[in-house]
């Protein structure tokens, strides 16, 4: 696959697929993490003398024009971050939009309206793909968040472009989630959280032969604990995955991998923030109590297991971290992983809920890589080849 450094950009029009699927509140960007992640690629193109056309989706308008999902507010935030004018078109394939792109001068920036206002985007429609391709000479994919989707803007459009390549963000995602995980520095520790084993089963299957230890928090831990005959009180259990949990435990035992589960939790009768909570040993959970976060003893045990790790993969929060009372475990693990990274360990953080949880913990920097994709990072860590990368290989 070509990277953006392999392409002569001077005087060219560059169409970049970015991921500006960001939260908006009162028509203002609430979280600009993904916008900032796109800036190195955009600035490189501008510095090389190219004009830049940006395209993205926002939300799920299902092929309809939904004003609340317009990318117009993103254009304003992008202008602030780039410190230059960003032209905006209220449609991505109209004659006016394509005409504006063709008239652009070097170092100008043009953002197109939400791709998913057209059904052709998610249908990977050939005509829609061809219309997108009219915007530019060169195609750059820098939207890892949609790399697992076969859509027009990351698959169909490539066959109509003169040259195609990866942007800096996509290159980094590929390097960490692909190359570094194919042969990770050992010992490798995997930290898993969240609610469902079923969401992580393929990741576990793929990484188990390479791992020395797996640390499990979040609600998914209780499914394993139930299989082991432990007391779990009223904690959430994924009943449909009890058999899968049993199989994983059997494999772990045969492969001499350490699988570590919580020994204590932050327990409460319900999730509301004003409900009394306590630190409870798993064996002493009351029948009406559920565990909503890992406890301090478990955190110390996890820290000990992480102390020798040379590679750490983390996917899923340790508790219900949207509620401050149940966010301490995730915050503590984030701090521990950051400290290990400072000591030279490679730390790879999954996107989606994991990235959000770390951001909310107040620790955003200091990791080797935080993925910008939720489903895409999970699929790639599960050993799957993503459509966006496949098509760039095909048309490179």
CB 315 within 8 A of CB 200: yes
Cα 200 to the center of its chain, rounded Å: 14
Instruction: Please state the length of the chain.
Output: 396
Can you point out the beta strands (E) in the chain? 13-17, 24-25, 28-29, 51-55, 86-89, 109-112, 138-141, 163-166, 188-192, 213-216, 258-260, 264-268, 277-281, 290-294, 311-315, 346-349, 369-370
Distance CA 207, CA 209 (A): 6
Query: For residue 191, which of 204, 206, 210, 178 has the smallest C-alpha distance?
Result: 204
Name the active-site residue from 59, 63, 375, 383: 375
Residues paired with 260 in a beta bridge: 215
Both tokens of residue 257?
């991998």
Query: For residue 183, which of 207, 163, 199, 166 has the smallest C-alpha distance?
Result: 207
Name the active-site residue from 107, 180, 196, 230: 196
34 is catalytic: yes
196 is catalytic: yes
| Alpha-carbon dihedral sign for residues 103, 107, 109, 115 | positive
Peptide bond into 187 cis (omega under 30): yes
Taking CA 363 as the corner, what is the angle to CA 56 and CA 16, rounded to the nearest 5 degrees? 15
Both tokens of residue 363?
């620790």
254 is catalytic: no
CB-neighbour burial class of residue 125 (10 A; exposed 0-12, middle 13-18, buried 19+): middle
Task: Return the active site residues.
Answer: 34, 196, 352, 375
């Amino acid at each position: 696959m070509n990277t953006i450094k392999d392409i002569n950009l001077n005087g060219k029009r560059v169409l970049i697929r970015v991921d500006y699927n960001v939260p908006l509140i009162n028509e203002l960007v609430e979280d600009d993490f993904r916008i900032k992640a796109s800036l190195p690629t955009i600035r490189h193109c501008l510095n090389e003398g190219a004009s830049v056309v940006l395209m993205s989706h926002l939300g799920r308008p299902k092929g309809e024009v939904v004003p609340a999902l317009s990318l117009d507010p993103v254009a304003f935030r992008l202008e602030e971050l780039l410190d230059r004018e960003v032209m905006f078109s209220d449609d991505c394939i109209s004659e006016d939009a394509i005409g504006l792109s063709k008239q652009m001068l070097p170092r100008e920036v043009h953002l197109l309206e939400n791709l998913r206002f057209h059904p052709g985007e998610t249908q990977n429609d050939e005509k829609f793909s061809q219309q997108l391709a009219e915007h530019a000479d060169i195609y750059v994919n820098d939207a890892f968040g949609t790399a697992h989707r076969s859509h027009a803007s990351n698959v169909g459009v490539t066959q109509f472009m003169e040259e195609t390549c990866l942007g800096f963000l996509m290159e980094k995602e590929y390097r960490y989630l692909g190359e570094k995980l194919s042969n990770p520095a050992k010992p490798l520790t995997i930290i898993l959280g969240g609610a469902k084993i079923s969401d992580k089963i393929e990741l576990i299957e793929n990484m188990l032969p390479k791992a020395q230890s797996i640390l499990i928090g979040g609600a998914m831990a209780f499914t394993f604990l139930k299989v082991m005959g432990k007391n779990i009180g009223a904690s959430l259990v994924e009943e449909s995955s009890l058999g899968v949990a049993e199989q994983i435990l059997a494999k772990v035992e045969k492969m001499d991998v350490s699988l570590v589960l919580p020994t204590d939790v932050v327990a409460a009768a319900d999730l509301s923030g004003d409900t009394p909570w306590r630190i409870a040993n798993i064996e002493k959970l009351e029948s009406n109590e559920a565990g909503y976060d890992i406890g301090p003893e478990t955190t110390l045990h996890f820290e000990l297991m992480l102390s020798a790790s040379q590679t750490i993969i983390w996917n899923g929060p340790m508790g219900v971290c949207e509620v401050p009372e149940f966010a301490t475990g995730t915050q503590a693990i984030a701090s521990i992983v950051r400290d290990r990274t400072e000591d030279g360990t490679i730390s790879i953080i999954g996107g989606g809920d994991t990235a959000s949880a770390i951001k909310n913990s107040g620790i955003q920097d200091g990791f080797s890589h935080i993925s910008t994709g939720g489903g895409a990072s999970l699929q790639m860590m599960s050993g799957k080849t993503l459509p966006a990368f496949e098509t760039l290989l095909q048309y490179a």
